[in-house]
Chain A
Amino acid sequence: MVLQSSLKSCLQLSCILRTPKAGFRSTTNRGLIIQSVSNDVYQNLAVEDWIHDHMNLENRQVLFLWRNSPAVVIGRHQNPWQECNLRLLRQNNIKLARRRSGGGTVYHDLGNINLTFFTNRKKYERMENLKLVVQALKALRPQLDVHVTDRYDILLDKQYKISGTAAKLGRAAAYHHCTLLCNADKFVLSSVLKSPYKGLKSNATPSVPASVKNLFEEDPSLTCEMLLDAIAEEYATRHQIDHHITLINPADETVLPGINNQTKELQTWEWVYGKTPKFSVSTCFNMVYKDSVLDVKVHMDVKHGRIEVCNIDLPDQWLPPALCSELVKSLTGSKFCPNETTALATTLLRACPQDDELHSRWNLLCENMIMLM
């Protein structure tokens, strides 16, 4: 059985977290299991960063258990436009987060559990961690056909991916985290992870798509809580510590000083979108205006999430050239963001001649441009 106690009553942990840098050599605690009480992806990612930056992991290893409400999480060096359907995310209030570890894009919801293994640099060993997870699953349900691949995935029935892995290595510490699909919404997963954006060229890390399956589908008696328990149990045995999970509140500054700033940083546009490696968009689209169909060619270079270069190729004189160049000039340096572009385009319209025909053409062009973002 799992004992869950509040953080403040766990003296060992408070000692560890309040004086992270002091040479803490007398501890007998070689491992620690903590679980987040929050389902906010940004808060939970901030906890990972906090532990990585502030906790003394020289002689201690930590297992962090967390779950998120619907969110798409991209890897450190990925391109969100390439990886997911941003429009669908916005419409459905699904959050977008960029984590600090590498790897590919994943969809999280409450039916997916996340495990983070914290160690010092020297003890960084992903295979061992994944084998621990597999062992825990087998202990829980011996008939499950699960194994670890070379690519650090866990496969069910040798074909369905149930877990993906990523890692972050710093100067003295490292963490390896992975997902585990228990009962996630596969329909939403497949639709949000399909990018509708065409003509993107970039060196960002691409994701490798895989067929997925929930453990729940294999065995309907399984729940997330059971999986979390089983893994905690296996970890406790492995590290010879108490099977005791400490709850952690990612908003508590007294226990995690500075964490709210880290949470905020993870939500900024500059981090989520601005950290996208340089990419270009070269595409064309058709606009239907009254009785004619027009071909428009667009090319944009985007760096740090901002449009560095913008070219719009319109049929001659469809819009006054001065107006068109005004649009291009305003877009240059602007965020590659539909909201920003909408605000920009509608504001520019105020300074244009008041002509309904002109306005509807302008709106049509701008709406199509916004669709690219």
Chain B
Amino acid sequence: VCIHRVRSCGSIRFIKSKYVCVFDKSALKFSHQQRLFRTSAVSCGQIVQFKLSDIGEGITEVTVKEWYIKEGDSVSQFDSICEVQSDKASVTITSRYDGIIRKLHYNLDEIAYVGKPLVDIEIDASKGVAPEEDVVETPPMSHEEHTHQEIKGHKTLATPAVRRLAMENNIKLSEVVGTGKDNRILKEDILNYLAKQTGAILPPSPKAEIIPPLPKSETMPVAPKDKARKVPLPVSRPIVFSGKDKTEPITGFHKAMVKTMSAALKIPHFGYCDEIDLTQLVQLREELKPVAQTRGVKLSFMPFFIKAASLGLLQYPILNASLDESCQNVTYKASHNIGVAMDTEQGLIVPNVKNVQVCSVFEIASELNRLQSLGSAGQLGTNDLTGGTFTLSNIGTIGGTYTKPVILPPEVAIGALGKIQVLPRFNEKGEVFKAQIMNVSWSADHRIIDGATMARFSNLWKSYLENPASMLLDLK
């Protein structure tokens, strides 16, 4: 005998006498003949039309606003199916059944009617059958007691999934108080019942848990009381990891970055690194911080690094230049628009301070404050983000010492600053002293910049920072 897939709206007359009818109000007895059909019933399920239930307040129609599932998805009882709206009320419709969605009766923004079918769900008939092969260590209760009970003349209503849960946990349905419509027993009621017994709150969907491997020893003392409620033990199943790879398209800003970085790597980079002793600068900044504070500006080290770089660029203007696409011409940029790499929610953003060559350290600090607050609020404008000629990246605020920064076209050089570390160093007298050391890593376009130029620029920049008083001589 085989089961034919049946589309029905309520009654399956010809199989009623032998099989569990999921939505027929009179629950039926199991019969032993089911064993024969369990194996063939894998993909043949019964289609249930899940109707839109009463919303309350006399509402008869709603608008479907969002579907959470699509045809072919499998759902469990209590999963959200869709969101409908009626007169300022948003309602989440949840599934009453476990099964597979076979049909959505409405499109988005269509009007749905209370009492009419919302979705068709195919319920796996085999799931309704209690699996006999499970190992149950207690005297099994007869099927009748699990599946339907007559309590004081009422028949107990419960879906097959709920019945199975009760069966697995050896719970008599008669002992569970149903809180659903017509005293129907819901999954929650079984879980609450179990919680009261075990004194713990169980997770709503036990099947989602990772099943641990069985302990090797078989001499586990089990109290008789536990035995009566023991969940059938799985037979050495391996640990199941249900994580899946996730693929997302690259869009928007990241797509643009891919393009920029690909262009950047066409530039032949060479690197040059050095160590800067910032002991004197640290002291100077400590003295100047409160002064800047009174003027409403937060003073970090960056304004000093930026100004020193600009002074260096005055001596080595090739580092503030741009090479055209055909590599025929070099343009020496008049303005020192020094970019400061910023890490924001979107990723790497490089706003720049314009015309550093005519700005004081304080003015640079003030402008940095402005850019930083705009950056964190996500409100930087196009003007702030374009026109840069040279870039400094203070990766040291996050960590690291030496790095290999990538030049941002159309620029030809970039500097990355590591973190400031306190390290022992020797002075001229051969004594060890505490020094505040920071590492700098430069990258430059080797097509127009040679190692010597980079080294000399770096030395000049280093000398200004190691001896800040010397900056005074060259400040414009």
Contacts and interface: CB of A to CB of B under 8 A. Distances in A.
Contact of B252 (A167, A205, A334): A334
A125 B57 contact: yes
Given A21-B195, A330-B255, A353-B325, A124 B56 contact: yes
Contacts of A335: 251-252
A206 interface: no
Nearest to B381: A342
B252 A350 contact: no
Interface string A300-323: 000000100000000000000000
B201 A76 contact: no
A166 interface: yes
Contacts of A61: none
Interface residues of A, number: 60
A301 B349 CA distance: 27
B66 to A, nearest CB: 7
Interface in B97-130: 108-109
B241 interface: no
Contacts of A100: 90
A370 B380 CA distance: 12
A102 B84 CA distance: 9
Nearest to A104: B88
A346 B263 contact: no
B201 A340 contact: no
B475 interface: no
B37 to A, nearest CB: 33
Contacts of B377: 90, 93
A287 B85 CA distance: 41
Interface stretch (A1-9, A236-244, A359-367): A359-367
A12 interface: no
B56 A350 contact: no
Given A330-B256, A333-B249, A351-B259, A165 B88 contact: yes
Interface string B191-203: 1100110000100
Contacts of B56: 121-122, 124-125, 169, 174
Contact of A77 (B66, B177, B255): B66
A208 to B, nearest CB: 10
Given A21-B188, A121-B56, A102 B89 contact: yes
B352 to A, nearest CB: 10
A354 B94 CA distance: 57
A367 B55 CA distance: 47
Point out which of B86, B256, B325 has the most chain A C-beta atoms below 10 A from its C-beta.
Answer: B256
Contact of B379 (A125, A339, A367): A339
Contacts of B251: 306, 332-335
Interface string A66-106: 00000000011100000000000010010000001111100
Contacts of B43: none
B410 A350 contact: yes
B138 interface: no
Contacts of A166: 88-90
Given A19-B201, A21-B201, A124-B56, A342 B252 contact: no
B78 A171 contact: yes
B322 A152 contact: no
Interface in B356-382: 377-382
A306 B255 CA distance: 14
Contact of A23 (B196, B255, B381, B385): B196
B89 A101 contact: yes
B409 interface: yes
A293 interface: no
Given A22-B201, A77-B85, A340-B252, A363 B109 contact: no
A110 interface: no
A188 interface: no
A343 B201 contact: no
B287 interface: no
A49 to B, nearest CB: 11
Contact of B88 (A102, A171, A329, A345): A102
Point out which of A23, A100, A335 has the most chain B C-beta atoms below 10 A from its C-beta.
Answer: A23
A348 interface: yes
9 contacts: A21-B201, A166-B88, A203-B109, A205-B85, A332-B251, A340-B253, A351-B409, A366-B382, A370-B382
- Of all A-B residue pairs in the complex, the 8 with the closest CB atoms, nearest first, are A334-B252, A333-B251, A103-B88, A102-B90, A346-B385, A167-B89, A347-B256, A339-B378
Interface of A: 19, 21-23, 58, 75-77, 90, 93, 100-104, 121-122, 124-126, 152, 165-171, 174, 203, 205, 277, 306, 329-335, 339-351, 353-354, 359, 363, 366-367, 370
Given A104-B88, A166-B90, 4 more contacts: A102-B87, A152-B87, A169-B92, A171-B94
